[in-house]
Chains A and B, each alone.
Chain A
Amino acid sequence: MQIERELMRGAGPLAVLSLLKQGEMYGYEIVEALSQRTDGILAMGQSTLYPMLYNLENQKLVASREDRTGPRPRRYYRLTKKGEQRLARDREQWTQLVKAMGNLGIAGGAA
């Protein structure tokens, strides 16, 4: 099941920030992790992921470093302090949103 673009626009960055909370990752890792952990619901292609990562970096929510020690160069992304704050805030908002949607019988299995 593919999520509508508008929903993904709000959920995607939060999902990426959430993944990076666990440690630094490079692009393909993020795509794989999103796909596996959300059963493909939040899977996103490169055309979406990399512009999103660049924007998060512009907003200083994530930082990156280049690693040329391996067989090919990789860019690793990690959460910044500002990113952590944003993640905490967005998580709270999403919790409230899901709760509210649950109260309407849309999410969370509530009647």
Chain B
Amino acid sequence: MSDDNHPSSTAATAPLHDTSWFYRARYTPLRDAMRGHLSARLDARRVIANAKLPKPLADVTWRVIRGTRLWRSEKVAVAEELTSHFLDGLAAGTTADELLAAFGDPRVAATLIRRAKKRARSWTWKSLKGVQYGIVAMLVLYVLLWVRLLMREPSLNETKYTDAAWAKIDAIPDEEVAWPEFRRIFVEHKLTHVLIPLFRQLIDEQGRVAPNDTTWHEVQAYLDSHQHVMDELRHATRYPYDHKPSRDTGFTDEDFAAFGVTDSSGKDIRYFANPQTTTAMFLRADLIAAVEHRDRDRVMKDVKAIIALSQQTDDRTGRWMGTTASGIAGTLYVQLDTLLQSDAGSDFLTDDDLKTIAHLVAANASLYDIQLDSARTWSDIQLARYYDAGGGMTLEGIERTYDRQRQFRWLNRNQPSRPVLKSLFTMLSPPIIALFTDDRETAELYVAAEFARIQTAAASPLWELPVSNDYESTRTEITQTTLGALRHGYLLAMTPPVHLREIKVQQAQQEATLVGLALELYRREHDRYPNSLAELSPMYLPNPPTDHSTGKPLLFKIGATGKPVIYGRGRDGDDDGGVQSFSTTRSREPSKDGDWVLVPMDLPAGRY
């Protein structure tokens, strides 16, 4: 083969067609550029042009080269080979048309050449390309998951356990529902404005109202002169509260504004806007004032109102209601005990008054059953917020998961929210949901298992329950690890629904109140206390009282003040003579030594 008839030159020696600096820089390999030589030898078009092929051949060569979309150096190599091939053909006497006809489809050629050349590239490049494809695929997947997540709506209209609760509420005539009445009284009389600043001075370290030298006289004066307001509050305790638990208090933002939920220093006092707990606080103060005035009618009205308020609270739907209700009643028991223990005594109350109170308290005995139905309703509402009708977690669900984790595990609960961290968590929501969180079906199973476990515990006496708080231990057990917290985060929002131990302790204190009343009635009749609590039944108590720390009979002695001391054996199970030695802190862990003193009740709130 000869190429004498086809003058040509190699790309390396061909003159530059475009001598601009930009052109040369663009088509110069880095190695040449680093040597200060802008060779521009990576321009495949220049290679084709320099070959001086007939136009049809030059065109088809360029179409192939352009179609390969290869790197410039690869294009130049292919261009040199193809042009060389055509030149060899022409030199051999083959016409351009024949060469063109034998060439084949340029598009197919470009595709095949591109495929072959890319296969020849380095593993490093292939790996990076794989990573690149992987990132793009993940981004696409991420966007799709986000779209799916944003399309999900909470399935609040599909809750299973709320229908009965809502039907009960809806069946009550509007004029017999208590919470609008509470709202009217609070707003009309500006109770939070007037009383809360005064009461803030009266609340002791155990969260109880206790008279002092600062504002008590003002409070007492207000209460004495506003008995019509207290009567309205007492009246409001008689009806079902019955507010669907979309809010804790049943008040609107406008109501909060009317109440002035921040104090003069700007501190949020929304807590006081809870009408039932706040009313309990007012009624207890009124009871204290009534005792000071030895006004038995007013005392009896307040006792009845506090118990009614406790029952009203207990009937509300919500996981905290049982605990709140028992707390309200607890304030009454402490006050009654204080009255019985005081030197001034309860003599201004008649025997009938004490019996009436005892009957009211006894009737309250079934009040603090573990409220599984209410808690289940609440949990169902929560679950419906976490999941959509199709069983996928909603954006609200994942955000609640973060909030609950922050509150319970990841961050100190006293620390403020961290918006950046939350934004990051929200950003990662789609993969978190796809990889970690339970679907609704699994969540339902976990919740059902939780309730079954709680039901078993609720049926157990206090002395058989584990020492640690059941409410906390369940959460800790299931959400102990970060992965567990992500997977079952919904459990933190909904279960377990009750403080089993707290309610059972409250039941024991309620029984102790009855024992205290029975002892007082016995003393009035016999002019002395009995030798043992067993002597109280069946005349003053239907059955001998039980020590809920051991299951044995409750113990009793006359204390140094000449007043009864009623106590259980405590964690160590033996009689330490009615000496309570547990910590005075609010720790939930009871002491292993000492007794559990139920009466007198004005001991620090360490509890059993």
From 123 to 180 in chain B, residues with beta carbon under 8 angstroms from any chain A beta carbon are none
Given contacts A47-B112, A50-B82, contact A57 B120 (CB under 8 A): yes
Q: Does B532 contact A (CB under 8 A)?
A: no
Interface SS of chain A: helix
Interface SS of chain B: helix
Q: Does B105 contact A (CB under 8 A)?
A: yes
Q: Does B383 contact A (CB under 8 A)?
A: no
Residue of B nearest to A54 (CB): B116
Q: Which residues of B contact A73 (CB under 8 A)?
A: 10-12, 80, 84
- Per a CB cutoff under 8 Å, which of B1, B51, B82, B120 touches A54? B120
- 19 pairs of residues in contact across A and B, judged by CB atoms under 8 Å: A27-B81, A27-B84, A28-B88, A29-B1, A29-B88, A32-B92, A45-B102, A46-B102, A47-B104, A47-B109, A48-B109, A50-B116, A54-B113, A58-B120, A68-B12, A70-B3, A71-B3, A73-B11, A73-B84
A27 to B84, CA, bound (A): 9
Residue of A nearest to B8 (CB): A72
Nearest-CB distance from A49 to chain B (Å)?
8
A48 close to B104 (CB less than 8 A): yes
Q: Using a CB–CB distance below 8 Å, which chain A residues touch chain B?
A: 26-29, 31-32, 43-48, 50-51, 54-55, 57-58, 68, 70-75
A29 to B88, CA, bound (A): 9
A58 to B82, CA, bound (A): 19
A55 close to B81 (CB less than 8 A): no
Q: Which residues of A contact B88 (CB under 8 A)?
A: 26-29
Residue of A nearest to B3 (CB): A71
A-B contact count (CB 8 A): 87
Top 7 nearest A-B pairs (CB, nearest first) are A47-B104, A47-B109, A51-B112, A54-B116, A45-B104, A28-B88, A51-B116
A46 to B116, CA, bound (A): 14
Residue of A nearest to B81 (CB): A75
A58 close to B105 (CB less than 8 A): no
Having A47-B106, A75-B80, one finds 5 other A-B pairs with CB under 8 Å, namely A28-B1, A28-B84, A45-B104, A47-B64, A74-B84
A72 close to B87 (CB less than 8 A): yes
Residue of A nearest to B80 (CB): A73
Q: Which residues of A contact B119 (CB under 8 A)?
A: 54-55, 58
Q: Does B528 contact A (CB under 8 A)?
A: no
Nearest-CB distance from B86 to chain A (Å)?
8
Q: Which residues of B contact A71 (CB under 8 A)?
A: 3, 8
B102 close to A43 (CB less than 8 A): yes
